[in-house]
Amino acid sequence: MLDIKSIRKDKESFEKKLQTKEPGLRLDPLLQLDEKLRHLKTEVEHLKADRNEKSKSVGELKRKGESTEALMDEVRLIGERIQALDHELTEVEATFTDLLSRLPNVPMEDVYVSQDKEENEVIKIVGEKPSFDFSIKNHVELNEKLKLFEFQHTAKTSGSGWPAYRGMGARLEWALLSYMIDVQILNGFEFWLPPAAVRPPMMFGSGQLPKFEGQFYEIHDESHPLYLLPTSEVVMNGLHFDEILDEESLPLTYAAYTPCFRREAGAAGAQERGLIRVHQFNKVEMFCFTKPDQSEQMMETMIGVAEEILQGLGVHYRLCKLVTGDMSFSGAKTVDIEVWLPGQERYYEVSSISNCTDFQARRSKIRYRSKGEKPELVHTLNGSGLATSRLMVALLENNQRADGSVVLPPLLAEKLGVHVLS
């Protein structure tokens, strides 16, 4: 969430920057509510002070044996006015908070301003697109022979868009996860297996709610409402919800494995069938808490870890710095890592690494304290390290042979004791 005090001081600058993400955004409605809210609070404070003074006067009149009826009527009327204003204040505050919480994070100065994702800047390319001297198959066609995953039986159990890995496919998925976790640990990230469901405040804190309400799977329980994780970023950010961290403990570098659940997935066309876009997928996530002056370097570190994983798999990929209009709601700067999928003849994101500055920390009240100083907001960063479903597609499609078999990268072959899937 953004700082309303900063917005008051420089409305035009904030509005201009926010419009690079959401062109039609206007701050006047928010600031009008902010002014009304402050006016109401001031009026209530003055009325309470007046009531206190009059109540003291009532006591003095009683001690003197004088009539208090008229003054008591004034106190009663003031109380009724305070009650009415408190009710109005609650409603205005709720509307104000809702509007403020729907504002996206402000992009950093070095992010290119555009609404066209085709203008995302390719900042690095590693490897080359593979060339084939035979007619290639996409991963769904390859799977007809290999039988690594399926959707037919799970359509009965769960509906369309829910994959199941089977046999060697399940083993390959597990080997990928194990490899990625190993890389995270070797790079100093503390490994977590967190819950796969979170309370609504955690969704708010990470920036998922209220703006994206309806895009997630909810567990409807009146006594304990929960959401299934759309990304483990949500639960990792929530680990230090409403805490003050010691300066010496920063940066905190975490990695977590969870399944992730997305309602909006599966709505794409035939090009994105199979494992490209699904309701449930596995992901290893990096999440870091830093001091403000550490976050830019930490972002580079996280990008390096994701690259190390892909280089170990021998996959051709590129890094793209996103334009303002293609960035996430919470991100101030985002770099996507995309792999080439021959069967789709295009690049697809397998990791999105974002510096969220103090945006999530303000929503989640996560601070740190230097010795003798007031608490300050931390910076948070998140990034896939990596999501496996599209990575599985990349391994199958890029390493296929003319007979429909697939050669595994050496490190996965060693883990599985199998060099070729056939």
Of the candidates 42, 44, 51, 38, the one whose C-alpha atom is nearest the C-alpha of residue 83 is 44
277 classed as catalytic: yes
Six token digits for residue 287 = 């999440």
Residue 386, preceding bond cis, omega within 30 degrees?
Answer: yes
206, 295, 352, 354: which one is catalytic?
A: 352
Helix (H) or strand (E) holding 376, with range, is strand 376-377
43, 93, 349, 376: which one is catalytic?
A: 349
Are residues 286 and 305 in contact, defined by beta-carbon separation less than 8 angstroms? Answer: yes
Of the candidates 288, 283, 187, 298, the one whose C-alpha atom is nearest the C-alpha of residue 237 is 288
Of the candidates 325, 327, 328, 322, the one whose C-alpha atom is nearest the C-alpha of residue 115 is 325
* SS3 at position 257: strand
* Residue given tokens 């959707």 in the structure block: 151
277, 338, 351, 363: which one is catalytic?
A: 277
- C-alpha distance from residue 267 to each of 160, 272, 348 (Å): 10, 9, 16
The residues that bridge with 124 in the sheet, in sequence order, are: 319
51, 363, 367, 390: which one is catalytic?
A: 390
51, 206, 233, 262: which one is catalytic?
A: 262
C-alpha to C-alpha distance for 392 and 103, rounded to whole angstroms:
36
Across 101-209, the runs of DSSP E, i.e. the strands, are: 121-126, 149-150, 164-165, 190-192, 197-198
Six token digits for residue 257 = 């494995």
Are residues 332 and 106 in contact, defined by beta-carbon separation less than 8 angstroms? Answer: yes
Are residues 379 and 299 in contact, defined by beta-carbon separation less than 8 angstroms? Answer: no
Residues that are catalytic: 262, 277, 349, 352, 390
